[in-house]
Amino acid sequence: MAADASEPSQNAIYKHADPLGASHVLWWPFSKGPEPGAQSTLILFIPGNPGHLAFYTPFLSTIYDKTAASSSSRLAILAHSYLGQTPGLADDNVFSHPERVCLTAQVQAVIEVLDSLKSAYGDNTRIVMIGHSVGTWITLQALKARHDHIAEVFLLFPTIQHILQTPYGRRWSWLFRGPFPRILSTLSTTSRIWPTKMVSLILRDWPPAQLQVLLRWLRSPPSVFAVLTMAHDEMQTIRELDIALMDENRHRICLYFGDQDMWVGEQKDAILRLFNPDPGSMRVFHGPSDIPHAFCINHGELVASQCLEWLKSGGFI
């Protein structure tokens, strides 16, 4: 694991079992040294799509830094990217083997990481999974497969039901169908000559660091192809809500909904109705109107504050 002393997190590569390949991870180490018999908390974070972890550094660093300031908490964070989506790690094999970056492969990769964490840290470390967007659906698949490994899950801007029927699903799904992923990934090479100032004028509210993350991703055609291919799989796969799974685990699920979320749409009300007349059994937070689905660009610290509240109320910190 290669660390940068100037950064709170450490970059690493997780080598999955064949044929999954490798994925990028970020690791924030335990904030305090080991204490015999003491309990600790490990957050496993699963991003949205694109799953470039650099977008989420402000969000995750806020959770880590504010927890580390406490004298009584031991917390670590592992953020796991998606197969094929990280520039520099993605390769051209994705064009001939798109199945390696499909939703099923991504779920398998996350479960493998979850098993590794449980094996490495044992029962004294409680694992809390946090998922964003499609990462919420993947988090629920991990919960279904390894419910005994997971203490609690936080679902941020959850796309867990009929994503194709959401406003943005209806508007953009055609871009994810062939041949557009290959065409768009090829065209993405033109971003190498785009002036940064021009991009910043288009995306006026993006911080400079986040613009650089976006440009690095756009300049990697295999990564763009992997993102679009996985998005198509999301449209086809995420349909009926797993009511039995949600009901069985309602006391360890927290939901964060955006006020106007075009990737969730009317599915928000449909999800909430399923848990009446006892909606209080699931901790549901309705975010303010100015926090968008892609919260990680500008509002990571605000969403982190709610996650910290859930961690405190659950006794994890």
- Domains, the chain, in order of start with CATH, read 10-314 (3.40.50.1820)
One-letter amino acid identity for 188? S
Residues 219-262: pLDDT tens digits?
Answer: 999 999 999 999 999 999 999 999 999 989 988 999 999 988 99
Q: For residues 273 and 121, what is the distance between their CA atoms, to the nearest angstrom?
A: 38
Q: Which two tokens stand for residue 23?
A: 């994925």
One-letter amino acid identity for 124? N
pLDDT at 28: 95
pLDDT at 146: 97
Positive or negative, the CA dihedral 154, 142, 32, 299 is negative
DSSP 16: P
Where does the chain show beta strands of DSSP type E? 2-3, 10-15, 22-28, 40-46, 75-80, 125-132, 150-156, 253-257, 283-286
Task: For residue 19, say if its preceding peptide bond is cis, omega within 30 degrees of 0.
Answer: yes
pLDDT at 269: 87
Instruction: Give percent of the chain with pLDDT exceeding 90.
Output: 74
Positive or negative, the CA dihedral 156, 157, 158, 159 is negative
Taking each continuous run of H as one helix and of E as one strand, the counts in the chain are 12, 9
DSSP H helical ranges for 69-102: 93-96
Burial 69-78 (b: 16+ CB within 10 A, else e): eeeebbbbbb
In terms of Cβ atoms closer than 10 Å to its own Cβ (0-12, 13-18, 19+), residue 211 is middle
Q: Which two tokens stand for residue 224?
A: 């763009």
Angle between helices 57-68 and 300-313 (to 10 degrees): 40
Residue segments in the chain with a per-residue pLDDT below the cut of 70: 1-7, 33-38, 71, 275-282
Where does 84-211 show beta strands of DSSP type E? 125-132, 150-156
Residue 131: strand pairing partners: 46, 155
- The closest alpha carbon to 79, from 16, 139, 5, 28, belongs to 28
> Would you say 130 and 310 are in contact if contact means Cβ atoms under 8 Å apart?
no
What pTM was computed for the model? 0.94
One-letter amino acid identity for 140? L
Quote the Cα angle for 224-158-11, to 5°.
Answer: 50
Phi, psi of 126 (to 5 degrees): -90, 130
Q: Which two tokens stand for residue 141?
A: 């698949």
pLDDT at 37: 60
Q: Which two tokens stand for residue 193?
A: 């000559």
Residues 166-198: pLDDT tens digits?
Answer: 999 999 999 999 999 999 999 998 988 888 889
pLDDT at 4: 39
Residue 113's SS3 state is helix
pLDDT at 300: 96
pLDDT at 256: 96
Largest CA distance in the chain: 56
Q: Which two tokens stand for residue 296?
A: 């990680």
